[in-house]
Amino acid sequence: MPLRLYNTLTRQLEEFKPLVGNTVRMYGCGPTVYDYAHIGNYRTFLFQDVLRRYLKYSGYELRHVINVTDVDDNTIRNSQAAGVPLRAYTDKYIEAFLVDRQLLNLEQPEFLVRATDHIPEMVKLIQTLVDRGFAYASEGSVYYKVAAFAPYGKLTHVDFSGILAGARVDSDKYDKENARDFVLWKAAKEGEPFWDAPFGPGRPGWHIECSAMSMKYLGETFDIHSGGSDLIFPHHENEIAQSEAATGKLFVNVWMHSEHLIVNGEKMSKSLGHFYTLRDLIHQGFKPSAIRYLLTSVPHRKPLNFTFDGLHQAQQSIDRLRNFRFRLTKEEFPEGETPALQNIAREAAQKFADALDDNLNTAGALGAVFDMVRDGNTAMDHGEFHAGDRSEFLDTLQRFDRIFAVLEDDDHAKLLKLGFVKPQEAGTDANAAAGSVAGGAPSDEEIEKLIAERAAARRAGNYARSDEIRANLQKAGVILEDTKAGVRWKRK
Ligand code: AMP
Ligand code: ZN
């Protein structure tokens, strides 16, 4: 199946092809770094990551830009409240964003850029808009003249022609009902950071930032632009108005938007006051891999309801996948092959890709893999699985993990490296296993080390130690089973 993506601009599923050659040029709106990002934000960033990974999986090269908004109303307000210069204030949250990205296995884009490093590009673009009659200065600020751009509203699919004349809006965020001429350059205010420009000292509006940065790295017309659905209006509508008025060319071929993460029936949001950061959940003992899994498991165009139950289930799903891989690699199977089983694994890989080709249907892709895991486990339990069948199943699991990236049991190592757990909690003795991952379950790796230590203790006749390890693992929720093929373990 060819890859088909839903385009907000045309409201259709379209077969995807890069505009030029084999390289996909894409831009994803990143965080506004005035605070820690919440997991609703990460739902959108994870959708962008799945998109990136699947484009690579499909054989494309990537030229991918993610921006960080480090100057806007919110960053200025919070940095002033904290009494810290804007750059130093936003540095802290950019650093946090990079740490969170590592924890959630978000791939690094080719370019991760911050707005304040691109002020000259923004000034130049605003000047072009003024020169071409799409923008005007007023009281030291510059506004975009919406009535001058006839297609305004084409992304939102709303006819704005009746409500636009005259009035202006200075804030970056407003709703469709308040659509007005919007601000490109805000005149400097007492005590606020500012930059010099031909139209007077000031700072950029939020929307011009993304137009200037995306076109700098990706050209005047590029393949994909994405963000959460709340960015369709006004942010992306305004980006189109700015970019297309300046260049006279199509700005973006495919616009993609993810639906919101919902909590208690409402969009997870800072301004509504109900949100969890990644850190909040880690400190409650949840693994980043489980959070990644939960947030990617629902296709991006469906709202996702966040619950702790869902997070526990995500952890169980990952355990099931990791245990299956453990069996595949460690268990002894009779020599030979079972062609029918190998077919199951191959077909699962095909269904996995077919689902993702269908506008990144992650739920369908997971379904295909779990069907395979169930059939593989059943065959193993009935002695029908042969050594020659391993590689086909492992291959499909690896394909799965190129997109979902949760099989590697490295949560604990990462939390340790990034300073979320202390080294003394990370020992490999049985006591540590009972309390690792910020009080959560021990990792597969730790369990395997302890099982090896237990085997060594038994060989040496130290049954007290071997029993102690088993008891401690049990306390940590891990059950050991001694079988002819060796020790098998599972989480309670
Ligand atoms: P911001 O930091 O507010 O600029 O938002 C960064 C990204 O997160 C944008 O693409 C937003 O659309 C997205 N976003 C904000 N809240 C949510 C949510 N509850 N669910 C999914 N995406 C969100
Ligand atoms: Zn943006």
**Does any ligand 1 atom lie closer than 6 A to the CB of residue 260?**
yes
Strand-pairing partners, residue 420, are none
Cα separation, 446 vs 410, whole angstroms: 10
Q: Which residues pair with 13 in a beta bridge?
A: 6
Average confidence (pLDDT) per 10 residues, the chain, 492 residues: 96 98 98 97 98 98 98 96 97 98 98 98 98 96 95 95 77 87 96 96 98 98 98 98 98 98 92 92 96 98 97 96 95 96 98 98 98 98 97 98 96 93 58 41 80 84 86 86 73 72
Choose the residue to mutate in 44, 67, 259 for probing ligand 1, maximizing ligand atoms within 8 Å of C-beta.
Answer: 44
- The pLDDT of residue 440 is 53
- Specify the ligand 1 atom closest to the Cα of 262: 19
Q: What is the pLDDT of residue 433?
A: 42
Edge-to-edge strands, sheet with 304-305: 266-267, 261-263, 304-305
Ligand 1 center to residue 231 CA distance, Å? 8
β-strands 181-187, 168-169: how paired? parallel
CATH number for the domain formed by residue range(s) 308-404: 1.20.120.640
Segment 401-415, tens digit of pLDDT: 999 999 999 999 999
Q: Is 43 in the pocket of ligand 1 (CB under 6 A)?
A: yes
Closest ligand relative to 208 C-alpha: 2
The set of residues, in sequence order, having a beta carbon less than 8 Å from that of 465 and lying 6+ positions away, is 453, 454, 457
Output the six-digit token pair for 83. 């009494």
Q: Which atom of ligand 1 is nearest to the CA of 44?
A: 22
Question: Domain ranges in the chain?
Answer: 4-258, 308-404, 421-491
pLDDT digits (tens, 9 = 90+) for 28-71: 999 999 999 999 999 999 999 999 999 999 999 999 999 999 99
Give distance in angstroms: CA of 255 to centre of ligand 2: 12
Task: Give the SS3 label for residue 61.
Answer: strand
pLDDT confidence of residue 485 = 63
Contact criterion met (CB below 8 Å) for 222 and 22: no
Give SS3 for 33.
coil
Percent over 70 (pLDDT), the chain: 95
Measured CA to CA, the distance from residue 423 to residue 425 in angstroms comes to: 5
Q: Residue 484, Cα to own-chain centre: how many angstroms?
A: 43
228 lines ligand 1 (CB under 6 A): yes
Predicted confidence at residue 165, as pLDDT, reads 66
**pLDDT value for 422:** 82
Q: Tell me the CA–centroid distance for residue 159 and ligand 2, in Å.
A: 23
Topology at the third CATH level for domain 4-258: Rossmann fold (3.40.50)
Degrees (nearest 5) of the Cα angle 463, 466, 467? 85
What gap in Å lies between CA 166 and CA 155, rounded to an integer?
A: 22
What are the two backbone dihedrals, phi and then psi, of residue 464, each rounded to the nearest 5 degrees? -60, -45
Atom 7 (ligand 1): residue with closest C-alpha? Answer: 41
